[in-house]
Amino acid sequence: MKEKKVRQKRKPTLLEALIPIIAMLAILFYGKGLKGWATEPLLIVVAAIAALVAVRVGCTWDEMLNEISNKIAKGMPAILILISVGALIGTWKASGTIPMMIYYGIQIVNPKFLLVTAFLICALVSIVTGTSWGSVGTMGVALMGIASGLNVSLPATAGAVIAGSYFGDKLSPLSDTTNLAPIAAGSELYSHIKHMLWTTIPATVVSLLVYAIVGSGTGVAAVPNPETVETMLTTLDTMYSWNILLLLPAVIILAGSVLKLPTIPVMLGSSAVAGVMAFAFQHISLANILASTVGGFDVSMVSAEGFDPSAVIWEVTRLINGGGMTSIMSTTLLVFCAFCFAGIMSCAGCLDVVLENLLSVVKSTGGLIASTVVACLTMALTTGNSYLSILIPGEMFRDAYKKRGLAAVNLSRTLEDAGTVVVPIVPWSAAGAYMTATLGVETLDYLPWAVLCYIGFLFAILYGFTGIGIKKLTPEEMAKED
């Protein structure tokens, strides 16, 4: 009786290892970049191509499924945080926390330093809320209205708004990308945030210098009173009852960040407090508060005396509506699809082969960081998606940093410097399309002014070759990694 031949798993060749990567770049560039097709099915197609290579080198379906499950398990904490962020935004809008930031933020803008102020206000809002899109869609819209009345360059204002908003998208513990980057690289959230200051602070200083110089040349001496902005303020004042206690949910988040408390319980606690305030101060029903948590807030839920939801202008609706856990589901699905591809690639050993060949060329820390930057930029340009720009390069370079004795925070920082903040200046990306539609300025017009979005990775490369701001693994950490 013949024995059943057991197929041995072998190491893929360089060509086999590159096939899924080349296919991914080509398919996503054409499908997402040129045609605007949905990213998720394209990723499934790419994962299927990777699976064919995996089968060719001897992987079984069970082995591939196990690797996919491992990737998803590692990413689950970040996914739970994403869902919690959705609930947070919905309840904050119901309570008046975010609307109050908008209401008073509009009124403190100094026209002489409009661009600087735009950057700082959007940075503050995005740090507190953890969402660049929310910051652009709230404070950004109001600031663009003021800039129009002041006759200040709209592309410059849009660039300052976007750069400031993505400042918080990098540094806020509530941000999805800020949580995904350390997951992909294997670092810890707050250590990651602290290490990003090395590149983010100098990039911010350069940005503010540019905005200060440009702003001082506008020749604006007084703040006009644009009709749209005035209508927004009046409407918000009618919708909500302002109270200093409405800032408490934001204080809870900031305190949790400073004290390094577990992120999810802090966010859920802040959401609960915001829900209580929505009921107590804004007289929003419990049913609508729960609806805001799940499906997002809507102006029709406001029950203030004398307020007519049907008369609200679109600019206010765009500011107030949104949030909720369901708003995060599309992001969650994308993450799952990306992990399918990454898990199969890991099972087949393709990433190891590519990494080995890359490391044979890269001879220094600077070269490794520069290679990471190139990989992130390639993903950003071909996919237009910040999550893919983080997840896939993070998976590819994770072990390389360990082998060179570099702490994982170096990788997670570079993923954000060359991934997260670059995507909004890619015209065909979802972020680029959102910014253009929201602010009314073409991507290529605001690109030069979004200084933070392209300065950070230049500092990352500089540090790589000079050794400045590079954290090495201690002997104890090296032993633990082994």
Instruction: Using CB atoms within 10 Å of the CB of residue 29, give its burial: 0 to 12 exposed, 13 to 18 middle, 19+ buried.
Output: middle
The set of residues, in sequence order, having a beta carbon less than 8 Å from that of 88 and lying 6+ positions away, is 129, 130, 174, 249, 253, 267, 270, 271, 274, 323
Angstrom distance (rounded) from CA 241 to CA 101: 13
The set of residues, in sequence order, having a beta carbon less than 8 Å from that of 390 and lying 6+ positions away, is 177, 180, 181, 184, 376, 415, 416, 419, 420
> Tokens 């090495």 correspond to what residue?
472
Residue spans of the domains in the chain: they are: 76-323
pLDDT at 79: 78
Angle between helices 329-348 and 386-403 (to 10 degrees): 40
How far CA 181 is from CA of 162, 164, 186, 287, 372, in Å, comes to: 20, 19, 8, 36, 13
Across the strands, what pairs with 406? 472
Phi, psi of 349 (to 5 degrees): 80, 10
Which secondary structure element, helix H or strand E, spans residue 479, and what is its range?
helix 475-481
HSE-up of 267 (CA within 13 Å, CB side)?
24
How far CA 92 is from CA of 267, 289, 321, 322, 451, in Å, comes to: 11, 10, 11, 10, 30
Q: Among residues 473, 478, 465, 448, which one has the least CA distance to residue 159?
A: 448
SS3 state of residue 297: strand
Instruction: Using CB atoms within 10 Å of the CB of residue 326, give its burial: 0 to 12 exposed, 13 to 18 middle, 19+ buried.
Output: middle
Residue 319's identity, in one-letter code, is L
* Joined tokens for residue 369: 């960081």
pLDDT at 218: 52
Residue 399's identity, in one-letter code, is D
Angstrom distance (rounded) from CA 469 to CA 257: 23
pLDDT at 217: 64
Contact status, residue 319 vs residue 299, Cβ threshold 8 Å? no
Angstrom distance (rounded) from CA 53 to CA 67: 15
Q: What does the pLDDT profile of the chain (482 residues) look like in tens digits?
A: 445 455 678 999 999 989 988 998 889 888 877 887 887 899 899 999 999 999 999 999 999 999 999 888 877 877 787 788 788 888 988 999 888 877 887 677 666 788 998 999 889 888 877 778 767 866 786 677 667 656 678 899 999 999 999 998 888 887 878 888 888 888 888 889 999 999 999 999 999 999 988 877 654 334 444 577 788 888 989 999 999 999 999 888 778 866 778 878 988 999 999 999 999 999 999 999 999 999 999 999 998 888 888 888 877 887 788 888 888 787 778 778 878 888 898 899 887 787 677 767 888 889 999 989 988 888 787 666 788 888 888 887 888 888 888 998 999 999 999 998 998 988 767 788 778 877 888 888 899 999 999 999 999 999 999 999 898 877 766 656 55
pTM score, two decimals? 0.70
Alpha helices, DSSP H, located in 96-242: 97-107, 114-129, 132-135, 141-150, 154-171, 176-185, 189-216, 227-239
Angstrom distance (rounded) from CA 285 to CA 23: 51
Contact status, residue 126 vs residue 135, Cβ threshold 8 Å? yes
Q: Among residues 412, 451, 389, 19, which one has the least CA distance to residue 194?
A: 412
Q: Among residues 346, 388, 423, 352, which one has the least CA distance to residue 25?
A: 388
The three-point CA angle 359-360-363 to 5° equals 70
pLDDT at 466: 93
